[in-house]
Amino acid sequence: MTIDVHSPAREMAAAVADRTISARELLDLHLDRIDEVNDRVNAIVSLDPERARVEAAERDEETARGVSRGPLHGLPFAFKDTHAVAGWRTTYGSPLMAENVPSRDELVVERIRGAGAVTIGKTNVPEWAAGSHTFNTVFGTTRNPYDLTRSAGGSSGGAGAALACGMVPLAEGSDMGGSLRNPASFDNVVGLRPSLGRVPEWPAANGWETTSVGGPMARSVDDLSLLLSVVAGPDPRAPLALGDPGATFAAPVSGSLAGVRVAFSTDLGGAFEVDEQVARIVGDQRAVMAEAGAVVVDAHPDLSLAEDTFRTLRAWRFQAMFGARLARHPDAFKASLADNIRAGEHLTGADVARAYEQRTSLGHTMRRFFADHDVLALPVSQVPPFSADEEYPSRINGREQATYLDWMRSAYFITVTGCPAISVPAGFTAEGWPVGIQLVARHGGEAALLSVAHAFEQLTAHGRVRPTL
């Protein structure tokens, strides 16, 4: 077995286990790739090769003794720069946290390191992970490896770009309004926003928070499932955690589209504007699924309550998280984030109660919808990768977008349903920019969703097209 930086993560782990390649050699392959391309893409930050080499040597010593820490033993890993890694600089993309070094791991980090991964650094993020374009004043802009003039997406944009380039074999991130799905679409990789509770979070200021979730990214659905098996599963410190063990997702993924009931919609019945090229590429997948035996119908749930629900809960959370800090440092936040934080100042208890009532209604809407359908298919993002020099796309098909969130409705409408959603590569625009398709399943339905996503991925093979840089 010959291993290179684009090999499947499962093959890398197996090669380390059988000593076909050492953890140190695997690390050096990735460090060489980082050295080759990261200065142009700017996906990996706070890189520390020497500390990584010490960890890799420890993994090799353990392997020699017949000891494996877990399914990620010896794999290089860079954590999202909003996730605390003990002893490693963690900036959240904010100048206020530029020198922050946490003393403990977050739960998702604890699990990945515990499974044997070798920490190499962090992946770049927008300021405080706000917005789906990765730029900040600490590290600068992450660029799309398929076209360096375009955005890599966000907020897990560094993770998506690093995966696409072969700088890391796996990545993790978080998703409030599309931050795992959007960069997966823009960077031609796979990103899963899991069901609420599938990947528990700790520590958390609000253990009952239901908008942002952590999740895995990878270059294939099968590799994504491998990482999901590590980060999923209950923890007594996380009250919303689902009870299924992570090992539920450990086996290689298989499946077929035959007989799968797919509800297909490019705009949820006119709920949002979709770029013409994105609509065409996503729409073309209808025939792909039907030819593979899926029962495809034009259908969509009524998610009209999602707009007010998401924006209310997002502003409420941002005000709770950042309001006091913004008051102390009014010039240390980008304008769009500061505006959204301030929007939360005017919310009342009745506003928040209304949002949660609506969210409950949306959950029931999806429960009824998935009684008749197995999967909902729709765009991940309403636009292809936009200019890296813009904060967000202000126009879609020539039509003005009122706010910096408008182009993300296709993602955040799904957020407030609590359902799992995965972005899978679906094709490229005429300019060569990647476009993903979003597949959604019932709450708790990750196993079936991964099976469908894997079957689709095998049919199309768009995800095998790597950037040339």
Residues in the chain: 469
Predicted local confidence at residue 404, as pLDDT: 84
One-character DSSP codes across 231-300? H-S--TT-TT--SS-GGGG-SPP----TT-EEEE-SSTTTTS---HHHHHHHHHHHHHHHHTT-EEEE--
Q: Give the helix/strand (H/E) hosting 120.
A: strand 118-123
* CB contact at 8 A, 292 and 258: yes
3-state DSSP assignment of residue 417: coil
Beta bridge partners of 391: none
Q: What is the mean pLDDT of residues 393-409?
A: 93
The answer on pLDDT for 460 being more than 90 is: yes
DSSP, res 387: B
Query: What's the count of helices (H) and strands (E) in the chain, helices before strands?
Result: 13, 17
Quote the pLDDT of residue 383.
98
pLDDT at 62 (0 to 100): 98
For residue range 273-322, list pLDDT tens digits in order: 999 999 999 999 999 999 999 999 999 999 999 999 999 999 999 999 99
User: pTM for this structure?
Assistant: 0.98
What is the CATH number that goes with domain 9-464? Answer: 3.90.1300.10
pLDDT at position 444 is 98
Domain ranges of the chain: 9-464
- 2-30 pLDDT, tens digit per residue, is 999 999 999 999 999 999 999 999 999 99
Catalytic residue among 7, 80, 185, 410: 80
In the predicted structure, residue 54 carries a pLDDT above the cut 80: yes
C-alpha 345 chain-centroid distance: 29
Distances (CA, A) of 302 to 150, 178, 293, 369: 33, 19, 26, 9
% of the chain beyond a pLDDT of 90:
97
Read off the pLDDT of each residue in 323-350 and give the average, rounded to a whole number: 94
pLDDT tens, position by position, 89-137: 999 999 999 999 999 999 999 999 999 999 999 999 999 999 899 999 9
Active-site residue, 103 included = no
**Active-site residue, selected from the candidate residues 7, 94, 132, 155:** 155
pLDDT in the model for residue 29: 98
Distance, CA of 50 to CA of 424 (rounded, Å) = 35
How much is the pLDDT for 1?
Answer: 72
Of 132, 179, 195, 451, the catalytic one is 179
pLDDT of residue 402: 86
Residues 455 and 12: their CA atoms lie apart, in Å, by 22
Look at residues 178, 156, 190, 194 and name the one whose alpha carbon lies nearest to residue 79. Answer: 156
The first and second tokens of residue 192, run together, are: 């899963």
Query: For 242-280, what is each residue's pLDDT tens digit?
Result: 999 999 999 999 999 999 999 999 999 999 999 999 999
pLDDT of 139-162, one tens digit each? Answer: 999 999 999 999 999 999 999 999
- For position 85, what pLDDT does the model report? 98
* Mean pLDDT of all residues in 201-227: 94
H or E stretch at 141: strand 140-141
pLDDT of residue 107: 98
Active site (annotated) includes residue 179: yes
Burial of residue 383 (number of CB atoms within 10 Å: 0-12, 13-18, 19+): buried
What is the per-residue pLDDT across 195-212, written as a single tens digit (0 to 9) for each? 999 999 999 988 888 899
Catalytic-residue membership of 80: yes
- pLDDT at position 396 is 97
Residue 227 has pLDDT above 80, yes or no: yes
Mean pLDDT, the chain, integer: 97
Strand, coil or helix: what is 331? Answer: coil
Please answer whether residues 193 and 421 qualify as being in contact, where contact means their C-beta atoms are separated by less than 8 angstroms.
yes
Mean pLDDT throughout 334-346? 93
